[in-house]
Chains A and B, each alone.
Chain A
Amino acid sequence: MSEFINENPDVIDSDELPSRKENITGDLLLSGISNETTLQRKKLLLSIDNSKSKVLQNIELLDKLLLINPPELTSDEESIEESDDEDDAYGNTDPKDVVDTQEIYDLTAHISDPEHPLSLGQLSIVNLPDIEVHDCGDPNKMVEVIIRITPTITHCSLATLIGLGIRVRLERALPPRFRITILLKKGTHNSENQVNKQLNDKERVAAACENEQLLGVVSKMLLTCK
C-alpha cells in the first residue's frame, strides 16, 4: 500500500496525535482550564466528593459544555453527543429524517482503531469539520456524504482498514439513498489516491465484506459503536 513515497511536508507528525489527546483528558483535572467559572465549579465538585470516576466525568462534561467550540473537541466526542441529548428538541427525532454531519460523526467516531485501544474520534482520525452531507431534503433523492479521514501516520497501512470500517458502519446504519465517499484527507498519506480508489470501489468493498477474516477485524472495530 505504501509503495509510493511522496514526502509531504504538510504531514502532521504522526503518533503524537493519540497521546496528545490522552494528555488533554488526563490533565483535565487541574490544568487546561481557561475559564474561571469552570475552575470554580470543578473545585466545588471536588470539595463535595473527590472519589474518582463519576465526578470526574461530570467535571469533564461540564467543562465541555462550557467551552465555546465543542465541534473541535475530538478528544471526547461523548460529551458532544450528550450535550445534544440534553437538548429536548432532538429527543424524538428519527435519525433517518435528519442526518447531518454530527449524526455521521456520531456513527463513526466510536469505531475502534484497529491497533490502538482508542476510538477514531479520540485519535482525531474522524473529525467533525471533515464531514460533508449534501441532502436536498427529498427522501426519494440520494444524499451524498463525504468523509475525509486523517490517518495517524503517513504510511499507515491500516488506513484502508479504517476506511472500510467506516464504510461498513455507515452502509449498515444509513438508508440506501446515501452515497458515501470516503477519502484520505489531502496530504495525510503516502498513497492517498490508491487508498481512495480502493475505499470507493463498490466491487472491492463488496468482496472485502465476504472475506471472513477481514470482516472479523471490522466487526471488532465496530463493537464499540453505539
Chain B
Amino acid sequence: MSLKLVKSLKLQNDKLWSLDFAHGLLATGSTDRKIKIISVKDKDHVKLVDVLDDTVHKKAIRSVAWRPHSNLLAAGSFDSTVSIWSKESFDDLEIEDDDEETNDSTAATDERTLEMDLLAIIEGHENEVKGIAWSHDGYLLATCSRDKSVWIWETDETGEEYECVSVLQEHSQDVKHVVWHPTLPLLASSSYDDTIRLWKDYDDDWECAAVLNGHEGTVWCSDFEKMLDLTEETCNDRLRLCSASDDSTVRVWKYIADDEDGQQEWECEAILPAVHARQIYSVSWGPNGLIASTGSDGTLAIYKETENHDWEVIAKRELCHGVYEVNIVKWIDVNGKMLLATGGDDGCANLWSWDE
C-alpha cells in the first residue's frame, strides 16, 4: 500500500482554494483570481490548456465545479457572484499530445489549446460565495455564501439562464460548502454554525430535511458516499455522508428513516480515527469506498471501512504541500485510475496515486 506523489503543478500565485476534475480536465481556482484548466491524461501527459479571463471576478475564486454531462464550468467568488464558462464540446477537443509533458515551468507558460468563454454571471448573494455544486443531472446549481443562505438555481440544457427556485436561510452563520448526492435530489450544506443541513424537494419546494449536530466547530466540507445505484426507494440501505470540521474530526453520518412529518432522521455512525492536529478543510468519499481528508496541518489521510462500521487509517502523508495548508482533496478518475488531487496555499495542485 502506498501513496505516491505523481505530479506537482505550480499553477497559481496565491492560495489554491478549489479544484474539480471531469472529462480529463482539471480546473483550479485561486485567490489570484485566475481559473486554470489543465488537461490530465496520465501522469506523463499533463498540460495547461487555458487560463480564463481573470478580469471577470473582482476577488478570489473560492470554488470551481464542472457541470455533469456538459461542457460548462461554474466558479464562485468572494466578489459575491458566480460565473459560468463554456467551451467547445469535448468531442471536438483535440489536445495535442507532444512529448513535452507539463512540468512546473511549462505549467506556468501561456500555451493554450482550449478557449473557454464567459457564458453567464449569476448575481444574488449579498457577499462572498463560498461553495457551488451541480446536481447530478446538471439542471440545478446550488450556491452558498457568508450571507448565511443557500440558493438553488434552475437552468436548461444550454446553461445560459438561471432562475432561482429557492433561497434557504436556516443556517445561523456562513455556509461554507454545498454538495449534492450523486444520484438523489438531496443537498447537504456545511456551516460556520457547526451544523450540516440536508435539503430536499417537498412538492417543488426545497426544505430542510435534517440538521446534523455534533461537530464542535465550523463544518468545512461534506461528501456523500458514492452508491451509484441508490434510488429514493432503496436509500434506506446506504445513504451516508462524511464531514470535516474545525474540531479536527471527520465524522460519518447515516440516514435512518423518515419520520411522520417527512423529516429525515440521521445519526452519527462513526468518528474516524484522529489524524489531524488542526482544522480539516476537505473530505472526499471516493467511488472506491475510501475517504480522504486534508487540512491546515498539511496532512493527507486515507481511511478505509472495516467490517463493523469501524474505520482505519490506511495511509497518511504529512506535509503534502510542504509547510503550507491544504484546502481541498478530491478523488479523481483519470482514465479509469483513481488518483487524489490536492490543492494548497502554495498555489500548487498535487496528484497522488494510491495503490493498495
Contact = CB atoms under 8 A, between A and B. Distances in A.
Interface of A: 140-142, 175-177, 179, 197, 201-204, 206-207, 210
B146 A207 contact: yes
Nearest to B278: A179
Given A142-B323, A176-B346, A206 B31 contact: yes
Given A142-B323, A176-B323, A210 B346 contact: no
Nearest to A198: B192
A176 B218 CA distance: 23
Contact of A206 (B60, B127, B192): B60
Contacts of A177: 323
B174 interface: yes
Contact of A140 (B176, B323, B345): B323
Contacts of B281: 202
A207 B323 contact: no
A152 B217 CA distance: 27
Given A142-B323, A210-B59, A202 B78 contact: no
Interface of B, secondary structure class, is: loop
29 contacts: A140-B319, A140-B323, A141-B323, A142-B297, A142-B298, A176-B322, A176-B323, A176-B324, A176-B345, A176-B346, A177-B323, A179-B278, A179-B296, A197-B192, A197-B217, A197-B218, A201-B192, A202-B296, A202-B325, A203-B62, A204-B146, A206-B15, A206-B60, A207-B60, A207-B78, A207-B128, A207-B146, A210-B31, A210-B60
A197 B194 CA distance: 11
A176 B14 CA distance: 12
Given A202-B281, A203-B62, 7 more contacts: A141-B323, A176-B323, A197-B217, A202-B279, A202-B296, A207-B60, A210-B78
Contacts of B322: 140, 176
Contacts of B330: none
Contacts of A206: 15, 31, 60, 78
